[in-house]
Structure 1
Amino acid sequence: MTETPVVVDRRDAVATITLDDPEHRNALTAAAKVMLRDAVADIAADEQVRAVVLTGSARAFCLGQDLGEHAKALEGGAESAFATVREHYTPIVRNLLTMPKPVIAAVGGTCVGAGLGLALACDHRVFADGVKLATAFAGIGLTFDTGLSVTLPRAVGDARAKELMLFGRTFTAEEAIAWGISGETAIAEDVLPRAVDLARQLAAGPTAAFAQSKRLIGHAPGLSLDEALEAEALGQIACGATSDHVDAVASFLNRETPVFTGR
């Protein structure tokens, strides 16, 4: 394992989080999970960061849980070994899904298990051409974690999600996009630059409105129609109170390009 398995770079209002343990293809060790959890929480709360990129170094995005460490943890019993789900995976995914700023996954290599969960917890994905993805859990006698029981069916539907879990077959980025997982493909060397470019575009946009939109989409499945409509009304009022909205309307009327500050 590298000395710093998670690296954070902040520039131009964009934070890039890199899983950086290429020797183990960015498998999630205990140290990596702690660092990733803390980095995501810190960035979620950082008002200077207006968009985020999550990526992995070298030829993999993330292979999921480090099984060598997991095998040792199982010696203490399942309850102890799987405390990591609540302690690490749950807060990481919750923050990725709910942070009030857009998150883009730059998936330049293999992405399986919890790695797939991390990628689907982001708002958009840039995949390397032909990159391989898989749920992988059934192959080691496990079920979903990292939010996949929510994000995968929402993206591809219940039937496809069951197929991918039950049979555990590897699928490509192109198949994933065709099934409904939002994203785009690029040649491998362009994946991270493209993701950063998209993040910069979003960072220059109305991030307060983006935050409201993420919140509405995240909450909508648990709301009745009337509740969802009321949530939209409240969201519009909140956006309408921002200088971004007021200034953008004035810019439109004056035929000027608006400048968004996220406030």
Structure 2
Amino acid sequence: MFGPAEEDYRVSAPDRVAQPADSPAPPVRYEVGGSGVAVITLNRPERMNGWGGGLASGFFRCMDDAEADPDVRAIVVTGSGRAFCAGADMGDLSTISAATVDAAADTDVGKLVGERHPHFVMTMRKPVIAAINGACAGMGLTLALSCDVRFAAAGAKFTTSFARRGLIAEYGISWMLPRVVGVGVASDLLLSGRVFLAEEAAELGVVNKVLAPDQLLPHALGYADDIAANCAPSSLAVIKQQVYEDTMLSVFEASNRAEKLMHESMTRPDFIEGITSFFEKRPPNFPPLEKEDAS
């Protein structure tokens, strides 16, 4: 059964600094396990991990740390409390019934989403696994879809919600969702804005697997541990690039590009190690991702 011990994970350097007992918890927690898996936890449970209030900038900073750390080979993103991310934290507009159109129009959407859009996650060289522990709505669903693999806790609630709030499909979800589940299902979920549970999300292909709440994070960590231990970081980086960039190409262009990339992969030491470890029936010992691998 997947699931490393909790003590196998260490917090990042900033979180290890002694803080006053009454100091607020960081909006995002960052931990790194000895196996090479980073865990990024959205940590505003009192706001259902709403996207805002320093959470967005903290998330991107932690993702940058994970991307830059050669010891990190896979990333798990989850939430604290009863939500993964219940959407954008609209701040004063939470009392929208008393607000005017002019007040809403003054909202700085750029500041709300942060310095980058969620699809930034797709450009990372390392695999990102979402462990969706609870409510996943609006911006939260967009964030989950930008991850490479998604696991969900049984009973977790999902919704696009935009149409029911007088909004549009935001920050790339109109591109992501049809590619994950198909145009017909995406149209249903986006146009109706209806709530659906994790079990239906798995049937529709929104998530890869549903697990009991107490098994969600151990399973996600075990899945990430397996990738970290057995997959070449250089291969992971190129495969992620292929998966997302090839959607913009024809099958002929994608196949021709793959032939070139395959030849390049066979010139790396990782290929020799992968073949040798297979025949020697031992775990591979792949080197960490280096800066020149980014290209």
Q: Same fold (TM over 0.5)?
A: yes
The whole-number CA distance in structure 2 between the counterparts of 1:235 and 1:229 is: 10
Relative to 1, partners in 2 of residues 1:256 and 1:11: Cα closer, same or farther, differing over 3 Å? Answer: closer
Native 8 Å contact 2:159 2:194 kept in 1: yes
Counterpart in 1 of 2:108?
Answer: 81
Distance 1:67 1:96, change over 3 A: same
Q: Which residue of 1 aligns with 2:292?
A: none
Give the alignment partner of residue 55 of structure 2, picking from 24, 32, 52: 32
CA deviations over 1:163-203 (Å, ceiling 9, x no partner): 11111101111212211224111111111111111111111
Answer whether contact 1:51 1:199 (CA < 8 A) is retained: yes
Aligned partner (choices 216, 230, 238) of residue 242 of structure 2: 216
Report the counterpart of residue 225 of structure 1 in structure 2.
251
CA distance in 2: counterparts of 1:20 and 1:51, whole angstroms: 20
Seen in structure 2, the aligned counterparts of structure 1 residues 149 and 244 have a Cα distance that, compared at 3 Å, is same
Residues 144, 111 of structure 1: alpha-carbon distance in 2 compared, 3 angstrom cutoff: same
Q: Given the alignment of the two structures, is residue 47 of structure 1 paired with residue 73 of structure 2, yes or no?
A: no
Whichever residue aligns with residue 177 of structure 1, its letter is A
Q: Is the CA contact 1:70–1:81 (under 8 Å) kept in the aligned structure 2?
A: no
Aligned to 1:134: 159
Aligned partner letter, 2:43: D
Q: Distance in 2 between matches of 1:257 and 1:17?
A: 27
Aligned to 1:258: 284
**8 Å CA contact retained: 1:134, 1:171:** yes
1:178-236 deviation line (CA, Å, top 9, x unaligned): 11224111111111111111111111122211211111110112112332122202221
Deviates more, 1:42-51 or 1:15-24: 42-51
> Partners in 1 of 2:91 and 2:59 — Cα distance?
19
Q: Map 1:240-251; keep pairs closer than 5 Å.
A: 240-251=266-277
Whether 2:233 is the aligned partner of 1:207: answer yes
1:121 and 1:151 in contact (8 A); partners too: yes
Write the letter of the residue equivalent to 1:38.
R
Partner amino acid, structure 1, of 2:267: A
Q: Normalized against structure 1, the TM-score is what?
A: 0.90
Matching of residues 108-147 of structure 1 within 5 Å: 108-147=133-172
For residue 104 of structure 1, what is the aligned residue in structure 2? 129
The Cα of 1:88 is off from its aligned counterpart by 3.5
Q: Kindly provide the amino acid, as one letter, of the partner of residue 79 in structure 2.
A: G
Q: Does 1:176 align with 2:201?
A: yes
What's the counterpart of residue 3 of structure 2? none
Please state how far the C-alpha of 1:43 moved relative to its aligned partner: 1.9
Distance 1:207 1:251 in 2: 16
CA RMSD of aligned residues (A): 2.4
Shift of 1:60: 0.8
Query: Offset at 1:2?
Result: 4.7
Percent identity over the alignment? 35
- 5+ residue gaps, structure 1, are none
Larger-Rg structure: 2
How many residues are paired up?
A: 261
Kindly indicate whether residue 220 of structure 2 is the aligned counterpart of residue 195 of structure 1.
yes
Q: Contact 1:89/1:146 (CA < 8 Å) preserved in 2?
A: no
CA contact (8 A) 1:155 1:179 kept: no
The alignment status of 1:237 with 2:237, answered yes or no, reads no
Structure 2 unaligned spans of 5+ = 1-22, 290-295
Cα 1:182–1:196 change in 2 (3 A) is same
After superposition, what is the alpha-carbon deviation per residue over 1:46-86, rounded to whole angstroms, capped at 9, x for unaligned?
32210000000011111111122456998666375212367
1:28 is paired with a residue whose SS is coil
Give how far 1:257 is off.
Answer: 4.1
CA change 1:246–1:165 in 2 (3 A) is: same
1:256, distance to aligned residue in structure 2 (A): 4.2
For 1:200 and 1:140, the matched residues in 2 are separated by 39
Alpha-carbon distance between aligned partners in 1 of 2:207 and 2:158, rounded to the nearest angstrom: 14
